[in-house]
């Protein structure tokens, strides 16, 4: 096979892999948005506190994507972890690290996933 063909095959693989990642990410963001929209405003702080507990107790913190860690820090610095955007970031991070614990904690609070 020529170098040009190998190059184009490698580029196509990268494009397909990135497209799959983007589709997964997009689906997850839509799901998280929907879940957060369904949480009553008065419960956001309680949900936020519970998600922070799950994250702080996780032994899987090394699996935290950098973009989520930075987003959590940014929302914390602005005192917005209990806002819909902050809860969305916490939810995504918590589901990434501890999916089962997150689901159990949220169901205990009456939040449907």
Does residue 21 fall inside a structural domain? Answer: yes
Token duo for residue 26: 């997009």
Q: pLDDT by residue (tens digit) across 67-108?
A: 999 999 999 999 999 999 999 999 999 999 998 999 899 999
Kindly indicate the confidence band of residue 34, based on its pLDDT and cuts at 50, 70 and 90: confident
Overall domain count for the chain: 1
Residue 50: which of 109, 93, 100 has the closest Cα?
A: 109
Does residue 23 fall inside a structural domain? Answer: yes
Does residue 113 fall inside a structural domain? Answer: no
DSSP label of 29: H
Q: Are 36 and 88 contacting, i.e. CB atoms less than 8 angstroms apart?
A: yes
Does residue 55 fall inside a structural domain? Answer: yes
Q: Are 36 and 91 contacting, i.e. CB atoms less than 8 angstroms apart?
A: yes
Domain that holds residue 54: 3-108
Does residue 29 fall inside a structural domain? Answer: yes
Does residue 86 fall inside a structural domain? Answer: yes
Does residue 15 fall inside a structural domain? Answer: yes
């Amino acid at each position: 096979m020529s170098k040009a063909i190998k190059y184009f095959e490698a580029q196509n693989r990268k494009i397909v892999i990135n497209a799959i990642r983007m589709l997964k990410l997009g689906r997850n963001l839509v799901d998280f948005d929907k879940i957060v929209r369904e949480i009553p405003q008065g419960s956001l702080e309680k949900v936020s506190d519970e998600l922070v507990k799950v994250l702080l107790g996780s032994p899987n913190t090394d699996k935290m994507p950098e973009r989520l860690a930075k987003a959590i820090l940014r929302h914390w610095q602005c005192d917005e972890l209990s806002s819909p955007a902050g809860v969305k970031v916490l939810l995504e991070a918590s589901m990434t690290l501890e999916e089962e614990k997150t689901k159990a904690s949220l169901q205990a609070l009456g939040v449907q996933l």
